[in-house]
C-alpha cells in the first residue's frame, strides 16, 4: 500500500524540505519513498504544495498526488483559501499547525469526516529554533500519530543533514532534535466525528475563489459579492470609528468595495472581500489616521462583517 501525502504551506515555511526529510527518513527504514514540490507564483508567502509517496514495496508512479491519505497544513491561514480537503480520502488525516484543539479545528473547518491532529508547530519552533519553521515539529507529530515513519528515523536523518561539519553537540542540531521531540509529544487528536455538533454561531463561509467554475462564462455583474476573496489577505485594515472623520477617501480608493457605508458614513470593513492592499490606510488623512494595517492573525473567524 502506498501512503500519499500532500503538504500545504507558504513559500519559506519548509514544506519542500519537510517532505524531503520525511522521504529520506522512510528510506532509512527500508521503505520506498518520493518527495517533490509544486510551485505557483514564486515569492515568499505564496501558497505552495509538496508531496510524498511512501510504501513498503517498490512503486513506479510518478504523477501528482490527487487523492492523498494525509494532508499537512503548515499555515492555518491557508484554510478556506486553498482546497485543503480536495481528494482527501474519507477517514484521511489532516495535520494542522495551529494552537487549538483537534476537535475545535474539526468543528471550525467542517472536518468531521477526517482524523485531525493539531500541533502548535510554529510555537514549538519559535521556542526551540527561535524562528517560525514549523516543518520539523509537524514531522514529529506525524510520527507520533500516523506512524508513517519512526521518530528515530527522523532523528537520524536530521542529524545526518545538520551535523555535517558541526557535530551532534552543535546548538542548531540540538534545537532541531528538541523541536522534533516536542512535536512528537505535544499533539491533540480528534477521530472521525460524524454526529452533528452544536453550531459555533458563525455564518457559514462563502465559497472561495478556487470554487469558481473553471473557464466559466461570467454572465452577470457582482460575482465578487458571492465569493470570498478576502483569503488572499496577509495584512488586515483595522478601522477606528472613534477618530474617523467620514471623508470617504478610503471608500473611494478601495478596489474591492470592501469599505461599508450607511448613507454617507463609514460603518466597517467587509473582511470577506478585503484583500489587504493597504490603499485605505494610505489615503486616510493624517488628521484622522483611522485605519491601520496589522498582521493578519491566524484562525480569524470566517467573517467580521458588521
Lookup: cell for 300: 480569524
Q: Select 285 or 301, whichever has its Cβ closest to ligand SF4.
A: 285
Question: For residue 99, which of 304, 297, 303 has the smallest C-alpha distance?
Answer: 297
CA atoms of 154 and 22, how far apart (whole Å)? 7
Q: Select 53 or 273, whichever has its Cβ closest to ligand SF4.
A: 273
The distance of closest approach from Cβ of residue 209 to ligand SF4 in the complex, given in angstroms and rounded to an integer, is 14
The distance of closest approach from Cβ of residue 77 to ligand SF4 in the complex, given in angstroms and rounded to an integer, is 16
Binding residues for ligand SF4 (CB under 6 A): 237, 239, 244-250, 254-256, 258-259, 266, 269, 274-280, 283-285, 288, 290-291
CA atoms of 215 and 197, how far apart (whole Å)? 36
Q: Select 4 or 270, whichever has its Cβ closest to ligand SF4.
A: 270
Q: Residue 82: how many CB atoms within 10 A of its CB?
A: 20
Q: Select 12 or 278, whichever has its Cβ closest to ligand SF4.
A: 278
Is there a contact between 95 and 138 (Cβ–Cβ < 8 Å)? yes
The distance of closest approach from Cβ of residue 236 to ligand SF4 in the complex, given in angstroms and rounded to an integer, is 8
What is the DSSP code (8-state) at residue 202?
S
The DSSP result for 228-294, as a single string, is B-GGG-SEEEEE-TTT-----HHHHH-TT--EEEETTEEEEE-TTT-----HHHHHS-TTT--EEEE
The distance of closest approach from Cβ of residue 284 to ligand SF4 in the complex, given in angstroms and rounded to an integer, is 3
Q: Select 96 or 302, whichever has its Cβ closest to ligand SF4.
A: 302
CA atoms of 22 and 28, how far apart (whole Å)? 10
Residues 6 or more apart whose CB falls under 8 angstroms from that of 98 comprise 76, 105, 118, 119, 120, 298, 299
CA atoms of 140 and 134, how far apart (whole Å)? 10
Q: Select 205 or 278, whichever has its Cβ closest to ligand SF4.
A: 278
Q: Select 71 or 259, whichever has its Cβ closest to ligand SF4.
A: 259
The distance of closest approach from Cβ of residue 292 to ligand SF4 in the complex, given in angstroms and rounded to an integer, is 10
The distance of closest approach from Cβ of residue 144 to ligand SF4 in the complex, given in angstroms and rounded to an integer, is 40
Residues 6 or more apart whose CB falls under 8 angstroms from that of 250 comprise 259, 266, 279, 280, 283, 284, 291
The distance of closest approach from Cβ of residue 157 to ligand SF4 in the complex, given in angstroms and rounded to an integer, is 43
Amino acid at each position: 500500500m502506498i501512503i500519499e501525502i500532500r503538504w500545504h504551506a507558504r513559500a519559506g515555511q519548509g514544506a519542500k524540505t519537510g517532505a524531503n526529510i520525511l522521504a529520506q527518513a522512510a528510506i532509512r527504514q527500508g521503505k520506498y519513498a518520493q518527495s517533490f514540490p509544486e510551485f505557483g507564483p514564486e515569492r515568499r508567502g505564496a501558497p505552495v504544495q509538496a508531496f510524498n509517496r511512501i510504501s513498503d514495496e517498490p512503486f513506479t508512479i510518478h504523477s501528482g498526488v490527487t487523492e492523498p491519505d494525509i494532508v499537512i497544513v503548515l499555515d492555518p491561514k491557508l484554510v478556506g483559501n486553498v482546497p485543503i480537503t480536495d481528494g482527501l480520502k474519507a477517514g484521511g488525516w489532516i495535520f494542522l499547525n495551529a494552537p487549538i484543539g483537534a476537535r475545535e479545528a474539526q468543528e471550525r473547518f467542517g472536518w468531521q469526516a477526517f482524523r485531525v491532529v493539531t500541533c502548535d508547530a510554529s510555537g514549538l519552533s519559535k521556542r526551540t529554533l527561535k524562528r517560525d519553521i514549523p516543518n520539523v515539529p509537524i514531522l514529529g507529530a506525524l510520527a507520533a500519530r500516523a506512524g508513517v515513519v519512526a521518530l528515530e528515523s527522523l532523528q537520524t536523518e536530521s542529524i545526518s543533514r545538520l551535523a555535517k561539519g558541526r557535530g551532534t553537540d552543535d546548538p542548531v542540531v540540538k534545537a532541531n532534535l528538541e523541536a522534533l521531540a516536542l512535536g512528537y509529544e505535544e499533539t491533540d487528536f480528534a477521530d472521525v466525528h460524524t454526529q452533528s455538533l452544536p453550531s459555533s454561531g458563525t455564518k457559514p463561509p462563502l465559497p472561495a475563489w478556487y470554487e469558481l467554475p473553471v473557464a466559466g462564462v461570467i454572465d452577470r455583474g457582482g460575482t465578487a459579492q458571492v465569493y470570498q476573496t478576502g483569503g488572499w489577505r496577509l495584512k488586515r485594515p483595522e478601522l477606528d470609528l472613534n477618530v474617523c472623520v467620514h471623508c470617504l477617501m478610503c471608500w473611494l480608493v478601495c478596489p474591492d468595495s470592501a469599505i461599508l457605508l450607511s448613507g454617507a458614513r463609514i460603518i466597517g470593513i467587509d473582511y470577506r472581500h478585503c484583500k489587504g492592499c493597504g490603499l485605505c490606510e494610505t489615503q486616510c488623512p493624517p488628521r484622522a489616521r483611522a485605519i491601520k494595517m496589522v498582521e493578519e492573525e491566524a484562525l480569524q473567524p470566517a467573517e467580521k462583517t458588521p
